[in-house]
Structure 1
């Protein structure tokens, strides 16, 4: 039996994908400890692991991130907001989270640390103690490459030599100007831990800090890179099948009935971080008011009656429905582009309409359009809201062009060829056994 420590950023889209991994490692006989926010403690325990509390770090409900940002005087969306978000959400909490992880290590040294894309504290802890680590991505691959635009811009790979040159210049501006202060802060964090000064841009450190990087996607949904680090492996999506209890809503039987009658089913969802319904839910309801379809809206962090107006007769709403149960009945999903939800839709062969640019959503939307599995909609630069007209045009385009569903079906078959959970468990166990072997040899 090995001791495995999970270091997870307390955000739903970072924790939920890890739960099937936690359960699989527990079922394999390992002692698993998960350090993340208190909101997820019950889910961690239900997966059979020990929930380590966040005491020194920021234990913030991710549904309250927008309110927290306003209370802390975050700038309006734009470059300054991007700088603020990286500093406040990515770097500032690291010392507190690191102390929480140190408290866990003091109670029992792990054989392997598993961390998500943004768990800088987990990466630093593993480096400081010489513990092998596995990063499991929960975003599109953020590694810089000469073959791509800077991550976060939402630009697809260059098609001409001139465009490639422009991207290199943009990359220099992003790293040396936009994130200059963040780079200094990241270097200071590393120095405070007592580790050697790393080379390059701080967002590229994770693949060098982690022993292995397991990217939860498929080749069709990730840009090709000729300079990809050898530590990175694509493993397919981690799908939370069977994680959630499910009590079907009263309208559940209407889903197959609608499709049998030739009416498409349109799912509208906005995730758990960007919670203002004016960004997508309300424009979508307006856009789909006259569409001959069954429209399902999930509100995520609030009850439908608290955030939605009076619903049209062809609209059904719920706070949450497990996507593994819902998506097989859906013809198109309208989303703000959360990485996990998009992966689940494509694994089910559902084409997409994506409207969102905050966090990593611009990159998700760009990959959806690049892969031909859906369309990306414009959003307001200040509010990140889309319009009813854009949603209506996007949905009609995807429903009216069979190439989107056909391509989504091809990508679904690609996802089906992978066993992401099995591969992650395999890699974690390989590193754990190697670690235990080193200890035995040393004694």
Structure 2
């Protein structure tokens, strides 16, 4: 779709609100930056940790306040002297996920809503005749008071709202158990009966979180409260306009009961390289551009950065493959491997490298299962080997397997043998490449940013 005309530019101010987690903010910021490029006035609500990064996109940065202003890098740092709860890093991943939901979604809800209200008041004061469209990331629960009839500041009109999901959809379905339950998709009568029982089990398990959610909603001035358990999709389905899912139909289970207004918008498209190309490329870059060997890219991610979990096992798994070069990305600028590590001769190590710079050369993409890493893989048409656990990663890994675009290992620290067998399968079986090409074409056809812009225009109409 083409950029907006000058007339359309004046239609609305777009306010993005995202959970202050890097993996959630990154795709939100890409959408915000693109709509700004197309001429829309754009603001982004985010944590001060990411303020400089948000402002660098040319959009207006609005910092969260109080206990909503979370630093996700410090939160997950094993050296943090004040972990979210005592013994946080020793908890099983599903218990950590419940803590994460409480700390990022429920506990700061009232402070998030206060920020939204103040921002709406400021925008209205500056431009009384310009409507506001809020595009809320699906785990940002600070928008929920608006849907539960919390009062707005005097004289401030109710904004249009859209939901943008940048993780697998956490929406209740008769065909699926609750989010992160390790059971398969099923549309059989037996499967649906099982799912109903599991939803009852989930409601009991998370009853304290539901009560805490209601408490925070009451503090925010809500007049109504969600009837179901947490993570049943209320935050999605309460939006007054579209529910936009980053992804494509072939990556998602064909559930029978998608809510009204739900639509896939495609995975994020390839980023435009910076003028002059990507900076600070490693010294061995020319070899990557000219070699006829197969390139395997492995990244540890920006949160879980222990190279012993994924990077070193991957380099070891491919040590004897003379037809392969492994490019390992440590994930933080200035990061190095321990001095006693003997790097295989076919491995190339770098502290930081933009995924869009290296993935055009890749034949396989090994990562920790974040939705953003999957997006990069699909955009470049690269089959994947996916490790990781926690957050939304178990759901991501199941969809990797279901869609046929890679191998899902489902462990934060897979063995060398499992990685070797998985990579050999990816490099030798053309079906993985064929399937990821299907998803890549679906993404191109859907036109992610164009669909998001159209949803804004439809909401205003």
Whether TM-score is above 0.5 comes out as yes
1:123–1:133 CA contact under 8 A, matched in 2? no
Deviations 1:198-250 (A, max 9, x none): 23223121122222210010000011121110121111012360276712322
1:399 to 404, 407, 427: 427
After superposition, the C-alpha distances for 1:305-346 in whole angstroms (9 at most, x for unaligned) are 156834322111223322223211100111110101102201
How many residue pairs are counted as aligned between the two chains? 425
CA distance in 2, matches of 1:226, 1:99: 37
Root-mean-square deviation (Å): 2.3
Do residues 207 (structure 1) and 220 (structure 2) align? no
Aligned to 2:252: 222
Aligned residue number for residue 180 of structure 1: 207
Q: Distance in 2 between matches of 1:304 and 1:310?
A: 16
| Corresponding residue of 1:139 | 167
Give the drift of 1:93: 2.0
The farther-off stretch of 344-353 and 303-312 is 303-312
Tell me the secondary structure at the aligned position of residue 326 of structure 2.
Answer: strand
User: Does structure 2 retain, via aligned residues, the 8 Å contact 1:17–1:239?
Assistant: no
Residue aligning to 2:7? none
In 1, the alpha carbon distance for the partners of 2:223 and 2:34 equals: 33
SS in 2 for 1:331: strand
Q: Which runs of 5+ in 1 are unaligned?
A: 435-443
User: Which residue of 2 is the match for residue 438 of structure 1?
Assistant: none
- Larger mean CA deviation between 226-235 and 386-395 belongs to 386-395
SS, match of residue 179 in structure 2: coil
Using the alignment, how far apart are the partners of 1:100 and 1:57 within structure 2? 11
Q: Write out per-residue CA displacement over residues 102-131 of structure 1, whole angstroms, 9 at most, x where no aligned residue.
A: 332231246111111211113434664432
SS in 2 for 1:108: helix
Residue of structure 2 aligned with 1:332, choices 361, 364, 370? 364
2: CA distance, partners of 1:428 / 1:330 = 36
**CA–CA distance in structure 2, aligned partners of residues 53 and 240 of structure 1:** 28
TM-score normalised by length of structure 1: 0.89
Asked if the contact 1:113/1:126 (under 8 Å) is kept, the reply is: no
- With over 3 angstroms needed to count, the CA separation of the structure-2 counterparts of 1:102 and 1:242, relative to structure 1, is same
Displacement after TM superposition at 1:422 (Å): 1.1
Question: 1:37, 1:54 within 8 Å by CA — same for their partners in 2?
Answer: yes
Say whether 1:414 aligns with 2:442.
yes
d(CA) in 1 for partners of 2:427, 2:133: 46
* Counterpart contact for 1:135–1:214, Cα < 8 Å: yes
Contact 1:378/1:390, CA 8 A, preserved across alignment? no
Q: Secondary structure at the match of 1:396?
A: helix
Aligned to 2:352: 320
1:277 offset after TM fit, Å?
2.9
Which residue does the alignment assign to 1:60? 70
1:10 aligned residue: 20
> How big is the shift at 1:18?
2.0
Report what 2:85 is aligned to.
Answer: 72
Which runs of 5 or more structure 2 residues have no equivalent in the other structure?
1-9, 125-130, 153-157
Equivalence map 1:79-118=2 (5 Å)? 79-109=94-124, 111-118=132-139
Alignment of 1:14-413 (within 5 A): 14-67=24-77, 68=80, 70=83, 72-73=85-86, 74=88, 76-109=91-124, 111-125=132-146, 128=150, 129=152, 130-158=158-186, 161-176=189-204, 178-192=205-219, 193-203=221-231, 204-211=233-240, 212-239=242-269, 241-242=271-272, 246-247=278-279, 248-258=281-291, 260=292, 263-292=293-322, 293-305=324-336, 309-379=341-411, 384-413=412-441
Q: Are the structure 2 counterparts of residues 79 and 10 from structure 1 closer, same or farther at C-alpha, using a change threshold of 3 Å?
A: closer
> Residues 279 and 179 from structure 1, CA distance in 2 versus in 1: closer, same or farther, beyond 3 angstroms?
farther
Contact 1:37 1:60 in 2 (8 A): yes
Aligned-partner SS, 2:39: coil
- Normalised TM-score (structure 2): 0.85
**Aligned-partner Cα distance in 2 for 1:90–1:310:** 42
Using the TM superposition, give the Cα deviation of residue 363 of structure 1 relative to its aligned residue in structure 2, in angstroms.
Answer: 0.5
Deviates more, 1:286-295 or 1:134-143: 286-295
Structure 2 vs 1, CA of residues 185 and 265 (structure 1 numbering), >3 Å: closer, same or farther? same
Between the aligned partners of 1:217 and 1:279, the Cα distance in structure 2 is 28
Q: Distance in 1 between matches of 2:44 and 2:146?
A: 14
SS in 2 for 1:214: strand
CA contact 2:23–2:372 (8 Å) conserved in 1: yes
Alpha-carbon distance change, 65 to 240 in structure 1, aligned in 2, over 3 angstroms? farther
Partner of 2:456: 428
Give the whole-Å Cα distance in 2 for the aligned partners of 1:194 and 1:61.
27
